[in-house]
Amino acid sequence: MTTTDIPSQRSTPVGHGSMPRKEDERFLRGHGRYVDDITLPGMLYGAVLRSPHAHARIVSLDTSAAQAHPKVRAVITGRTLEGLNLAWMPTLSHDVQAVLATDKVRFQGQEVAFVVAEDRYAARDALELIDVEYEPLTPVVDATRALDDDAPVIRDDVEGRTDNRVFDWETGDAAATDAVFASADVVATQDMLYPRVHPAPMETCGAVADMDPVTGKLTVWTTTQAPHAHRTLYALVAGLPEHKIRVISPDIGGGFGNKVGIYPGYVCAVVSSIVTGKPVKWVEDRSENLMSTSFARDYHMHGEIAATRDGTILGLRVKVLADHGAFNGTAQPSKFPAGFFGVFTGSYDLRAAHCRVTGVYTNKAPGGVAYACSFRITEAVYLVERMVDVLARELDMDPAELRMRNLLRPEQFPYRSSTGWEYDSGDYPRALRTALEMAHYDELREEQRQRRERGELMGIGVSFFTEAVGAGPRKHMDIMGLGMADGAELRVHPTGKAVLRLSVQTQGQGHETTFAQIVAEELGIPPEDIDVVHGDTDQTPYGLGTYGSRSTPVSGAAAAVVARKVRERARLVASAMLEVDPDDLEWEKGRFFVTGDPTSGKTIAEIAMAAHSDLELPEGVEGHLDAETVYNPPNLTYPFGAYVCVVDVDPDTAQVKVRDFVAVDDCGVRINPMIVEGQIHGGLADGIGMALMQVMAFDSDGNHLGGSFMDYLLPTTMECPSWRLGQTVTPSPHHPIGAKGVGESATVGSPAAVINAVVDALKPYGVRHVDMPATPAVVWRAMQGRPLRTDLAIT
């Protein structure tokens, strides 16, 4: 049971509320239009030749046989691109990545050549005609060995580089933290790994590039979460004029961060359209997606937590080794090379904290962040929530009680954390109390006591999270120096129907519905009468796209602001219609009326018609009922939540079964509670998957061991309990409608609850920690006191 009733039984609200999604009819009838549905006259197909080695020198590359294939139109190699100055492209993290390898291959699956042919099959066939001679080199697979003196230098393409260090970054006050630790009664430490995982969206990545040789205009239909950012990058990388580039992101079959960056295949499609003068389509297959597009996590963390004997947490000290693969890939805010990991103090009132993150290159696919991650907050929350449980064990204290004692209190907001983050609003104890009550926590502990007496392994895990979402404020974030303000444009047509144009792009989150609802709430126009246009740079205002759950915090705010601008314009038009002073008009949802005379009102539709008519408009009003805005958020929004997970572990097979999961989320005002709950359901499934099943492992030669869904396991309904959701609502004080983002909350908050539950279940075996994923093998080995590392195929 969830906190809302069945959506179909509800009437459509005019503004916020659980209305069914406008986009679903299209999707359910099979009328979605994805990149691979785009077919253009004369279109050619591209395929990528990938490296079988994790680390090797390219001795020779012979494409003549492929070029001689009757259906092949072009073969592009790193040398071709070098001639165009395009062999290397900038990543979103101030690094460069090889588009097609020239000197060396640096991960298995790296792009080596691109074949363009008349059909998909010929392109694939011709790949096998390319003859590459490799001289294998020793790969660096284990991040913990990447900085060894004898480790081969992976990025010798960068002049002067002598080791595999990507960056060193620290935050917090080291001296203050040392002092707090020196004064503590108790210090607990724990090493933990957040393994490499992959978002694995239903739709893989791809692009159709069409360079019009007559107009010189390039159109790229592509799987992107950030069309405008891609357009700017194409302009900067390829030197094409930006107004001659149109990026279209049609329907997207899930992004989850996988579609933030630009992949070599996109660039190859663009280059080959320019070279051949024809449209070129490239769509990767599943194993290409799993092997080579951006992975996430891969954080090797060492945590230390200091407290008083009575359970007051004083400080945290953290060291992280971050495995970034061969190129430092997906969006890493340049001001924070470790993303938003700096919020690792979590939801607690700590005196001091310090962390140091060292990024390293390894011979693995690039990436580094994205998978419903809020830019590393996933890792940060997992770390602090595991550390609190480790401390609870050390103090022999109930983990829920320890959290309650240390959570930030409502009167501390707005709160500035010891690492400098400004939390906007929250009532944390209320959320935790709600979750504990819904879970019947005290009864669960009693049940656990009884089961333990019978030798049964039941675990109860609690986690609390705070996220920082809505990338926008310049002090926090930029992408390649671009600030992150987002535009919105609203046009109300003469008949009162409207079109809202946005810079963000939905991948399944329901923007066509919720953004229409935001405007509907402000103007009283039914959401059905408001079309949301997004995902096309020729039709929408500039903005940096959807990730880090920023659409609601940034573009949601822009939508409300632009609707309010229209409303103020409508007030002036209505004052002319009713021949009164604008200040004498009052607004109720959908209409203006003269103060004291509610019968005198004019609806937005009536006002819209008048605004387009020959009505004499007041001075300064240009006519029509349109507005535009650019929203520059003053701060991030800080959603939070309290989760309780109950697991049973089979003592004979070490199989973990999630029996119950309670999630209390607070994302401020909810625009569409049904969609919010859907987001949370999805994120919880992700969280269970990461905690129990998902890991991208490699063998000692750097071979990727997760290239299909047979090897890389995703959760299904079989692994998921019937989620039980609750909520509290603490509006964001700086957001025009008080909303905070929610799209990644459950993925961020839930893995720690699951692992805390698994470790709790194994308490009778003296187990203090289990690394993700807690597969039966991992749990079994933990019970034997022989921890198993799952990211490397080494036992």
Binding site for ligand CUM (CB under 6 A): 225, 255-257, 260, 369-374, 547-548, 744
Q: Which is nearer to ligand MCN, 504 or 647 (CB)?
A: 504
The torsion angle over the Cα atoms of residues 371, 375, 376 and 382, rounded to 10 degrees, is: -70
Q: How far is the CB of 283 from ligand CUM (least distance, A)?
A: 20
End-to-end CA, the chain: 43
Q: Which long-range contacts (CB under 8 A, 24 or more apart) does 40-44 make?
A: 40/208, 40/210, 40/279, 41/279, 42/278, 42/279, 43/208, 43/278, 43/279, 43/280, 43/281, 44/73, 44/116, 44/117, 44/118, 44/272, 44/276, 44/278, 44/279, 44/280, 44/281
Q: How far is the CB of 504 from ligand CUM (least distance, A)?
A: 11
Binding site partner of 635, from ligand CUM, ligand MCN, none, Cβ cut-off 5-8 A by kind: none
Q: CA 374, CA 368: separation in Å to the nearest integer?
A: 12
Q: CA 221, CA 244: separation in Å to the nearest integer?
A: 14
Q: Which is nearer to ligand MCN, 23 or 304 (CB)?
A: 23
Binding site partner of 679, from ligand CUM, ligand MCN, none, Cβ cut-off 5-8 A by kind: ligand MCN
Q: Which is nearer to ligand CUM, 86 or 92 (CB)?
A: 92
With tokens 């989620």, the residue in question is 723
Q: Which is nearer to ligand MCN, 255 or 279 (CB)?
A: 255
Q: Which residues bind ligand MCN (CB under 6 A)?
A: 201, 254-257, 372, 507-511, 514, 546-552, 667-672, 675-676, 679, 682, 739-744
The CA-CA-CA angle for residues 298, 108, 695, to 5°, reads 35
Binding site partner of 476, from ligand MCN, ligand CUM, none, Cβ cut-off 5-8 A by kind: none
Q: Which is nearer to ligand CUM, 297 or 704 (CB)?
A: 297
Number of neighbouring beta carbons within 10 Å of residue 587: 17
CB 370 within 8 A of CB 748: no
CB 421 within 8 A of CB 719: no
- CA 532 to chain CA mean position, Å: 22
Q: Which is nearer to ligand CUM, 260 or 271 (CB)?
A: 260
Cα–Cα distances (Å) from 572 to 2, 13, 61, 576, 592, in that order, read 44, 27, 70, 6, 10
3-state SS record for 315-338: EEEEEEEEECCCCECCCCCCCCCC
Q: Which is nearer to ligand CUM, 502 or 625 (CB)?
A: 502
Q: Which is nearer to ligand MCN, 307 or 560 (CB)?
A: 560
Q: How far is the CB of 508 from ligand CUM (least distance, A)?
A: 11
The residue number with the shortest CB distance to ligand CUM is: 257
Burial of 696 by CB count in 10 Å (0-12 exposed, 13-18 middle, 19+ buried)?
buried
Binding site partner of 510, from ligand CUM, ligand MCN, none, Cβ cut-off 5-8 A by kind: ligand MCN
CB 575 within 8 A of CB 581: yes
Q: How far is the CB of 756 from ligand MCN (least distance, A)?
A: 23
Binding site partner of 354, from ligand MCN, ligand CUM, none, Cβ cut-off 5-8 A by kind: none
Q: Which is nearer to ligand CUM, 34 or 780 (CB)?
A: 34
Q: Which is nearer to ligand CUM, 225 or 287 (CB)?
A: 225
Q: What is the longest distance spanned by two Cα atoms in the chain?
A: 86
Q: CA 521, CA 499: separation in Å to the nearest integer?
A: 15
Q: How far is the CB of 662 from ligand CUM (least distance, A)?
A: 25
Q: How far is the CB of 504 from ligand MCN (least distance, A)?
A: 6
Q: CA 752, CA 760: separation in Å to the nearest integer?
A: 12
Binding site partner of 267, from ligand MCN, ligand CUM, none, Cβ cut-off 5-8 A by kind: none
Both tokens of residue 533? 């246009």
Q: How far is the CB of 739 from ligand MCN (least distance, A)?
A: 4
Binding site partner of 260, from ligand CUM, ligand MCN, none, Cβ cut-off 5-8 A by kind: ligand CUM
Q: How far is the CB of 270 from ligand CUM (least distance, A)?
A: 23
Binding site partner of 298, from ligand MCN, ligand CUM, none, Cβ cut-off 5-8 A by kind: none
Q: CA 248, CA 261: separation in Å to the nearest integer?
A: 15
Q: How far is the CB of 490 from ligand MCN (least distance, A)?
A: 16
Q: How far is the CB of 734 from ligand MCN (least distance, A)?
A: 14
For residue 246, what is the enclosing H or E element? strand 245-248
Binding site partner of 739, from ligand MCN, ligand CUM, none, Cβ cut-off 5-8 A by kind: ligand MCN
